[in-house]
């Protein structure tokens, strides 16, 4: 099968590799669509020996996959040949204490495509423990829509709904209007919140409007915190840091009213993930700091009806349908910061 194999930093080559053979608990999926993600770009920059790709065989990235089941092991009972599926990136083993307490996204032995096993920039991908690590894609939704959810939409959904318990009428501010920020805007709007989007890039702010932001703030033009305090008459209920910079964490905290919640989605990559935050202010104003990671696969059941009804629409963020041979160019554009929106591979 055709697959993009990472053979060195910035060295992504289209190769012909063996189609994986599913074991008794596994399912072989024909990849119909796969989203090109910024985390893949990090892997692309670091190369295959960064310690992030923990599997034998060709180093194939890619974790935002929708497709069709073409073969199943004998113990796979929840899925059959011909089923339309997405592969949740929060895969799990089903045996650890987190899996057993309904938190498979925190599994101690997670199964992430392109990280724990050969990923989806290929014609086929073999999903381990398929009974628990696949989700049915409803017939009315396209493969493009399934892949466009990516890791960003489901991470934002779990964060806002399950972790931060967003409610109707709340003032929500989202710092950073990249993929995960735009997803958070779309979901917050669907949840009935008043949504303020902050970024420094006018193009991103235009997309924020498209995804449902009620108000946009270019923080290059005005002081975002003061503007938010004014717009919300004293501070937002919920601030989402979708970037993970020291300045955005701090601006989030400063934008909240007393008792507000900071939802931290962006991973802070600098200084080993350490940022300086005003903990006295967090204490004195009873701010809650909430982390979030991925989403349990069973939560897709709550997302599908909202997608079918058009309340959520990740496909609005898709700016390019590309072929597998163009993925390398997208990574180059990401390096130059010239990439807009989301690209999804739909031809192989
Ligand atoms: Zn587990
Ligand atoms: Zn991703």
Chain centre to alpha carbon of residue 329: 21
For residues 323 and 206, membership in a common domain is answered with: no
Q: How far is the CA of 98 from the centre of ligand 1 (A)?
A: 6
Ligand nearest to the CA of 39: 2
CATH number reported for the structural domain that contains residue 190 in this entry: 3.40.50.720
Confidence of residue 63 (pLDDT cuts 50, 70, 90): very high
Angle between helices 179-190 and 202-210 (to 10 degrees): 30
Between 138 and 272, the higher pLDDT residue: 138
Domain assignment present for residue 157? The answer is no
Ligand nearest to the CA of 156: 2
Confidence of residue 57 (pLDDT cuts 50, 70, 90): very high
Domain assignment present for residue 31? The answer is yes
Sequence-distant (6+) residues with CB within 8 A of 88 are 133, 134, 135, 154, 294, 295, 297, 300
For residues 254 and 342, membership in a common domain is answered with: no
Q: How far is the CA of 34 from the centre of ligand 2 (A)?
A: 10
For residues 244 and 217, membership in a common domain is answered with: yes
Domain assignment present for residue 160? The answer is no
Residue 340 pLDDT more than 90? no
pLDDT of residue 230: 97
Q: How far is the CA of 118 from the centre of ligand 2 (A)?
A: 15
Final residue of a structural domain among 274, 291, 308: 291
For residues 287 and 304, membership in a common domain is answered with: no
For residues 60 and 188, membership in a common domain is answered with: no
Ligand nearest to the CA of 105: 1
3-state secondary structure 26-43: CEEEEEEEEEECHHHHHH
For residues 214 and 301, membership in a common domain is answered with: no
Final residue of a structural domain among 262, 291, 320: 291
For residues 325 and 239, membership in a common domain is answered with: no
Q: How far is the CA of 18 from the centre of ligand 2 (A)?
A: 25
Domain assignment present for residue 156? The answer is no
Q: Please state the domain count of the chain.
A: 2
For residues 130 and 257, membership in a common domain is answered with: no
pLDDT in tens, 217-251: 999 999 999 999 999 999 999 999 999 999 999 99
Residue 67 pLDDT more than 90? yes
Ligand nearest to the CA of 96: 1
Q: How far is the CA of 93 from the centre of ligand 1 (A)?
A: 4
The whole-model pTM stands at 0.94
Q: How far is the CA of 151 from the centre of ligand 2 (A)?
A: 4
Q: How far is the CA of 342 from the centre of ligand 2 (A)?
A: 10
pLDDT of residue 302: 95
For residues 287 and 299, membership in a common domain is answered with: no
pLDDT in tens, 199-210: 999 999 999 999
CATH number reported for the structural domain that contains residue 133 in this entry: 3.90.180.10
Q: How far is the CA of 110 from the centre of ligand 1 (A)?
A: 6
For residues 9 and 147, membership in a common domain is answered with: yes
For residues 78 and 183, membership in a common domain is answered with: no
Q: State the chain's mean pLDDT as an integer.
A: 95
Ligand nearest to the CA of 88: 2
Q: How far is the CA of 90 from the centre of ligand 1 (A)?
A: 10
Domain assignment present for residue 240? The answer is yes
Q: Which domain holds residue 259?
A: 165-291
For residues 128 and 186, membership in a common domain is answered with: no
Ligand nearest to the CA of 129: 1
Domain assignment present for residue 339? The answer is yes
The b/e string for 71-101 (b: 16+ C-beta within 10 A; e otherwise) is bbbeebeebeeebbbbbbbbbbbbebebbee
Confidence of residue 270 (pLDDT cuts 50, 70, 90): confident
Domain assignment present for residue 32? The answer is yes
């Amino acid at each position: 099968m055709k697959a993009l194999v990472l053979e060195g930093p910035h060295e992504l080559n289209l190769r012909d590799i063996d189609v994986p053979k599913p074991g008794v608990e596994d399912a072989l999926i024909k990849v119909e669509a796969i989203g090109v993600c910024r985390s893949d770009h990090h892997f692309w920059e670091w190369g295959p020996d960064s310690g992030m790709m923990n599997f034998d065989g060709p180093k194939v990235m890619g974790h935002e996959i929708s497709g069709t089941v073409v073969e199943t092991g004998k113990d796979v009972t929840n899925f059959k040949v011909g089923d339309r599926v997405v592969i949740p990136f929060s895969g799990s083993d089903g045996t650890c204490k987190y899996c057993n307490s309904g938190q498979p996204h925190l599994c101690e032995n997670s199964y992430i495509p392109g990280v724990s096993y050969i990923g989806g920039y290929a014609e086929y991908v073999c999903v381990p423990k398929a009974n628990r690590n696949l989700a049915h894609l409803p017939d009315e939704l396209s493969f493009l829509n399934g892949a466009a959810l990516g890791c960003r939409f489901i991470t934002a959904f779990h964060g806002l709904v399950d972790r931060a318990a967003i409610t109707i009428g709340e003032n929500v501010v989202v710092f950073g209007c990249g993929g995960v920020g735009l997803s958070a805007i779309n979901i917050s709007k669907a949840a009935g919140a008043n949504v303020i989007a902050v970024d420094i890039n006018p193009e991103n702010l235009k997309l924020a409007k498209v995804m449902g932001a009620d108000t946009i703030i270019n923080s290059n033009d005005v002081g975002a915190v003061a503007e938010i305090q004014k717009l919300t008459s004293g501070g937002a209920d919920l601030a989402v840091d979708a970037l993970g910079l020291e300045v955005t964490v701090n601006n989030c905290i400063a934008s909240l009213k007393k008792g507000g919640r900071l939802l931290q989605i962006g991973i802070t990559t600098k200084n080993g993930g350490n940022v300086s935050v005003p903990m006295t202010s967090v204490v004195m104003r009873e701010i809650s700091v909430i982390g979030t990671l991925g989403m349990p696969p069973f939560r897709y059941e709550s997302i599908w009806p909202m997608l079918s009804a058009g309340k959520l629409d990740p496909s609005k963020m898709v700016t390019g349908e590309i072929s597998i041979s163009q993925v390398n160019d997208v990574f180059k554009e990401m390096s130059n910061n010239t990439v807009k929106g989301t690209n999804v591979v739909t031809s192989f």
